[in-house]
Amino acid sequence: MITRVFKKSNKKLFDLKLFVHIPKTAGTSFRNGIENQSTVICDYEQRSPSTSKIVQESIYKEQDFFKLYKKLEKENVDWLSGHVSVTKYSNFVDPRNIVAFFRDPLEQTFSHYKHQVKHMNYKGDIEKFIEEKRFVNFQHKWIAGFPIELIGVIGITELYNDSIAIVNKQLGLNVPPLSSNVNADKGDKAEILTKKLAHRLRAISPNDFFIYNKAKWLLNNRKELHEKKLTWVHGIAHINAKNEIVGDAWNESNDELVTLCIIADDKEIATVNASLLYQGHIKAKLPRGSYISYKYCIPDELKNSDHFDVVVKQTRQKLNYGPLKIKV
């Protein structure tokens, strides 16, 4: 009988992470932080000198995503960072390894406008700037329809150090906090923007305000849960046209099954497991082999309920941002 002895490899496993760098959200500060401790390959669009040679060749010259992935794997690259949408490289990474920051839309717009004037030779005034299609709902566009609840870490520029604490915990990093104010553009000019254009900006770019407020809600809830030494669950919930409560859920750090409680008018009525096959975003490299969805058919006797909620059974973490209501 031959006995084989396998030596344990010291080689680090390939575990690529993606930083979706939305312009003017303190992304450069974060990228500098990860570059000091990790290997980072960049994609800041074809004409940018910041875009890595390997990306220029594989993506913009040859349009070969598989070639890029294999090169990143061969070199055991830690991060792919750039001005890219979540979905561009969503099949490269576990969504728990994706990081993105959002910023108060008023502040982001003002900072972005100054950058365009100074570095991109933009000639219009800020009133024209906010009306241009390419800048409308600007932050929201980078998510490209992917639910932010399912992204590894959603940071907030104004809460940068709180965000970094969660990034470090989630991804095993040691990115330092910032001692200076990352919201350096705030001041008299930003206040003028707020007073003169806030109403118009909210009307033009409602998705940016909605996603920013939801991102803050997610960050604060996650911070509170971590302070209690509890595990965060990435999850979403909504009521579809068939009056079914549907969504997806998975743990931030493992593939254990998530059990959820369905609440009707503050009363628990059922439990469901997030074990069904996910039907959306088929390109995404999802946890649990994509078996992360759930469904609850609302019975007729409960269809007059005022509202529904979905909470994690073990921690009581609520998944829905607002109350779930049946559309009449």
> pLDDT tens digits, residue range 87-132?
999 999 999 999 999 999 999 999 999 999 999 999 999 999 999 9
Tell me how far apart the alpha carbons of residues 51 and 31 are, in angstroms, rounded to a whole number. Answer: 13
Tell me how far apart the alpha carbons of residues 72 and 55 are, in angstroms, rounded to a whole number. Answer: 10
Tell me how far apart the alpha carbons of residues 176 and 158 are, in angstroms, rounded to a whole number. Answer: 16
Q: Which amino acid is at 108?
A: Q
Three-class SS state of 235: strand
Tell me how far apart the alpha carbons of residues 81 and 72 are, in angstroms, rounded to a whole number. Answer: 12
| 64 within 8 A of 24, measured Cβ to Cβ | no
CA angle 245, 251, 256 (to 5 degrees): 95
| Backbone Cα Rg of the chain | 22
**Which residue ranges in the chain fall short of pLDDT 50?**
1-7, 9
Which pLDDT score is estimated for 112? 95
Structure tokens at 156: 């907030």
| 315 within 8 A of 230, measured Cβ to Cβ | yes
> 206-227 vs 188-204: helix axis angle to the nearest 10?
110
> pLDDT tens digits, residue range 67-90?
999 999 999 999 999 999 999 999
Position of tokens 């009525």? 269
Tell me how far apart the alpha carbons of residues 326 and 298 are, in angstroms, rounded to a whole number. Answer: 10
Structure tokens at 248: 């997806």
Please provide residue 312's backbone torsions phi and psi, each rounded to the nearest 5 degrees: -75, 130
Which pLDDT score is estimated for 183? 55
Pairing state between β 153-156 and 244-251: unpaired
Which pLDDT score is estimated for 5? 47
Can you name the CATH fold of 17-227? Rossmann fold (3.40.50)
> 206-227 vs 105-119: helix axis angle to the nearest 10?
120
**Spatial CA neighbour of 271 closest among 283, 288, 259, 289:** 259
Which pLDDT score is estimated for 190? 58
